[in-house]
Amino acid sequence: MDSNTILAAFDDVARRRGWQPLHKPKNLAMALFVEVAELCRHLQWRSDGEIEAMMRTPEAGEVAAELADIQMYLMKLAAILDVDMEKALAEKIAENRRRCADKTAEVYPG
């Protein structure tokens, strides 16, 4: 699903519920935090093996729904802040690669 379709659906729900006036950066960031916390409820206190097993149960659908909420809130926040996520991601990946290269050079000096 493309970004415009996701944002249009997100905005439609907000419009129907009267939430659009609340879609300001601070509120969206706080809502994003709440959605991440809701995801963490499914993972907290479980081992990697327990999480793997849980993802083969109906609870996996709840985890997927929380991830979708996170994605939508993040996309809306980026749109409101006029952040080009494609560009931001490309720049961050390049920065991480530089950092890895620098760290490798520190560990294994030429």
Can you list the residues of the chain whose pLDDT is less than 70? Answer: 104-110
Helix (H, G, I), strand (E, B) or coil at 2: coil
The Cβ of residue 84 has, within 10 Å, a number of other Cβ atoms equal to 11
Q: What is the pLDDT of residue 49?
A: 98
Q: How far is CA 30 from CA 4, 88, 101, 107, in A?
A: 22, 21, 35, 39
Is the Cβ–Cβ distance between 66 and 34 less than 8 Å? Answer: no
Condensed to tens digits (0 to 9), the pLDDT of residues 71-87 reads 999 999 999 999 999 99
CA distance 38 to 31: 11
Query: CB count, 10 Å around CB of 79?
Result: 19
What's the CATH superfamily of 3-83? MazG-like (1.10.287.1080)
Q: What pLDDT does residue 105 have?
A: 61
Cβ contacts of 3 within 8 Å, gap of 6 or more:
75, 85
Q: What is the pLDDT of residue 108?
A: 58
Confirm whether pTM is higher than 0.75.
Answer: yes
Tell me the domain boundaries of the chain. Answer: 3-83
CB 25 within 8 A of CB 80: yes
19: Cβ contacts below 8 Å, ≥ 6 apart: 13
